[in-house]
Amino acid sequence: MSNDNLIETDVLVIGGGPAGLAFAIHYADLAGKNNLPLKILVLEKAATLGSHTLSGAVMNLKNIGQLLPGVDLNTIPTATQVKEEEILFLTKKKVFALPYHPKVMSNKGNHILSLGAMVRWLGGIAEQKGVEIFAGVAGYELIYENGKLVGVFTGASGLDHEGKPMSNYQPPTEVRAKIIILAEGARGHLTKRLIEKFDLAKDKNPQVYSLGVKELWEVPEALFAQGRIIHTLGFPLGADQFGGGFVYGLNKNQVVIGFCSGLDYSDPTFDPHGALQKYKTHPRIARIIKNGTLIKYGAKNIPEGGLYSLPQLYHDNFMIIGDSAGFVAMPSLKGIHIGIKAAMTAAKAAFEAIKSQDTSKDALSLYEKLFKETPEYRELYASRNFRQCFSSNLYLGFIKFGINQITGGRGLSLNGKSRLEADYQHCRPVSKINRLLPVVFDNKLTFDKEADVFYSGTKHDEEQPCHILIPNSDTCLDCIEKFAAPCQHFCPAKVFELSRDAQTHKSKIVLHPSNCIHCKTCDIKDPFQNVTWVPPYGADGPQYDNM
Ligand SMILES: Cc1cc2nc3c(=O)[nH]c(=O)nc-3n(C[C@H](O)[C@H](O)[C@H](O)COP(=O)(O)OP(=O)(O)OC[C@H]3O[C@@H](n4cnc5c(N)ncnc54)[C@H](O)[C@@H]3O)c2cc1C
Ligand code: SF4
């Protein structure tokens, strides 16, 4: 049923990334085969599918074959197959090839692609199967009835800065469904609230993240071969920080350069965007792009906690899939094929629940049961303590990782489960740190945040309530005093600016929300947990195309 402000459906998917679309496709197939009426709707906040999508991406295609058994895999919009790969350790000027290339990190048989292009392709297939997709529409607020989730409100539009309706006001739409699938990607804002409300992370490790900052370059032919991939450790990070760089050779002379910084760093002045800029000045990296042209910029978080950071995946009327749950295998940094497989098992559970008219948590627990039987679960299980190895020191981490490899992932902890702390708990007072990362921006090889934001294509309607919520401005003053405002450094889009109040001469934070590229780092890393990211108007945000 549908009128202007109410839509009712069987299944509502929040987020049209690879996980949400794989869910929708598999659900549509199951419904079609069993003559179940198909009523499924996908909401995607980006104006077009793929335009808020950012990944590496080197993908293991095996689960696409299972998702789309009849489809010729040559039609998948991959750029190229991986032809050669290296893992390097970089010092400031030198390069060392790692003597040992762990099998779990091998990309043999994988493909390099733009995940945005893949998502658009999946969206086309989903629509052919009868899935309704509303792009440019964000799931904004959760609706409960008798303590159970029954739907979401989309965002309103036509509000002024204070949230007051203007002449072009459009009210939110109420979307009700029997089952709601949270597929919002890393740190989904609705998923976060559901995990808190239903205590779904009880007895689990907190989720931890890396911020991946990425640029797409066009380079003269022959400077970096199509199908070549490099992963690096070391420079510009010190041994006390987890992270690394990647360089992937796409087709059409395009090269991906990215740097992932673990958000468990303790230096409040550390800047993940600056880390990528510094990375590009290393002689080995600079020579690849020095005569090239920057095409695109963006950043996004990766949930890295692994198996022990997965929340309970279901509750009455809803399931959590993809990066919203945290289905990323480390150390291979692969989430797409696991997200697709988990989405397929969730689709099976949803189909059985709709068929039997029982969408209770007991019925939906089938999702977790089925996922535990998959090779992807075993992949996560094998690396269940990986990220924990690297929570203090890189070299110690290598030793612990070696022990993990020998013990089948168990490591040295007595119960086989190593603990993690949330990223925001790691900040140390600025007085104890003195390690600023100096970067000179030359606008050829290195770009400051304003310049890079231009290349993200991000756009926001200026006339709307700020979508970066800071409930307590006094806490900001404490944060400035203790940590010198880490938000000005960790935000890769210069949304937070430290400025001096002309009257009081006190420092304060000024926000530029229209720069935001939706990476969610502020929601994760703020040491006082005083920042909450919510979606701006539907369709606002970055314009990534092929990231
Ligand atoms: C820098 C980087 C490199 C990576 N490299 C690799 C790699 O090489 N190989 C690999 O396999 N994996 C890689 N990953 C991980 C991989 O990209 C993710 O695991 C995968 O994209 C997860 O898919 P998803 O559908 O769960 O989430 P996403 O791809 O994030 O999609 C979520 C979608 O939901 C939308 N959305 C969010 N909130 C709402 C809302 N409230 N309402 C409506 N829509 C909403 C978003 O706009 C987005 O389109 C990488 C990730 C990053 C960031
Ligand atoms: S404001 Fe937050 S979500 Fe937006 S770009 Fe900055 S850190 Fe990322």
Q: Are residues 216 and 299 both part of a single domain? A: yes
* pLDDT at position 408: 87
* pLDDT at position 435: 63
Q: Is 533 in the pocket of ligand 2 (CB under 6 A)?
A: yes
Q: What is the mean pLDDT of residues 451-466?
A: 96
Judge whether 535 lies within some domain: no
- Last residue of some domain: 303, 333, 362? 303
Q: Are residues 22 and 66 both part of a single domain? A: yes
pLDDT tens digits along 95-141: 999 877 778 889 999 999 999 999 999 999 999 999 999 999 999 99
Give the contacts of 434 (CB within 8 A, at least 6 positions apart): none
Q: Are residues 223 and 279 both part of a single domain? A: yes
Q: Are residues 24 and 137 both part of a single domain? A: yes
The residue nearest atom 3 of ligand 2, judged by CA position, is 520
Q: Are residues 292 and 145 both part of a single domain? A: no
Which of the pair, 406 or 326, is modelled with greater confidence? 326
> Where in the sequence is the domain holding 396, given as residue range(s)?
386-421
Q: Are residues 146 and 182 both part of a single domain? A: yes
* pLDDT at position 436: 58
Number of domains into which the chain is organized = 3
Judge whether 251 lies within some domain: yes
pLDDT tens digits along 259-298: 999 999 999 999 999 999 999 999 999 999 989 999 999 9
* Ligand with an atom nearest the CA of residue 524: 2
Whether residue 90 has pLDDT greater than 90: yes
Contact 286, 504 (CB under 8 A): no
CATH of the domain at 272: 3.30.9.90
- Last residue of some domain: 404, 421, 438? 421
* pLDDT at position 437: 63
Q: Are residues 264 and 322 both part of a single domain? A: no
Judge whether 244 lies within some domain: yes
Say which range, 126-140, 220-234, 320-334, 429-443, has the weakest mean pLDDT: 429-443
The residue nearest atom 6 of ligand 2, judged by CA position, is 491
Atom of ligand 1 nearest to the CA of 140: 41
pLDDT tens digits along 357-370: 999 999 999 999 99
Whether residue 203 has pLDDT greater than 70: yes
Q: Is 311 in the pocket of ligand 1 (CB under 6 A)?
A: no
Judge whether 282 lies within some domain: yes
Whether residue 222 has pLDDT greater than 80: no
Judge whether 321 lies within some domain: yes
* pLDDT at position 252: 77
Judge whether 356 lies within some domain: yes
Burial class (CB in 10 A: 0-12, 13-18, 19+), 40: buried
Atom of ligand 1 nearest to the CA of 43: 43
The residue nearest atom 10 of ligand 1, judged by CA position, is 334
CATH of the domain at 133: 3.50.50.60
Judge whether 397 lies within some domain: yes
Q: Are residues 99 and 155 both part of a single domain? A: no
Q: Are residues 8 and 19 both part of a single domain? A: yes
Atom of ligand 1 nearest to the CA of 15: 34
Q: Are residues 247 and 396 both part of a single domain? A: no
Q: Alpha-carbon dihedral of residues 118, 341, 349, 145, nearest 10 degrees?
A: -60
Q: Is 531 in the pocket of ligand 2 (CB under 6 A)?
A: no
* Ligand with an atom nearest the CA of residue 187: 1
Q: Is 56 in the pocket of ligand 1 (CB under 6 A)?
A: yes
- Last residue of some domain: 268, 303, 338? 303
8-state DSSP, 311: P
How high does pLDDT run on average in the chain? Answer: 94
pTM of structure: 0.97
Whether residue 2 has pLDDT greater than 70: no
* pLDDT at position 1: 46
The residue nearest atom 51 of ligand 1, judged by CA position, is 55
Q: Are residues 274 and 363 both part of a single domain? A: no
Question: Phi/psi at 501 (nearest 5 deg)?
Answer: -70, 125
Judge whether 182 lies within some domain: yes
pLDDT tens digits along 159-200: 999 999 999 999 999 999 999 999 999 999 999 999 999 999
Provide the residue type at 459 as one letter.
K
Q: Are residues 183 and 330 both part of a single domain? A: yes
The residue nearest atom 15 of ligand 1, judged by CA position, is 335
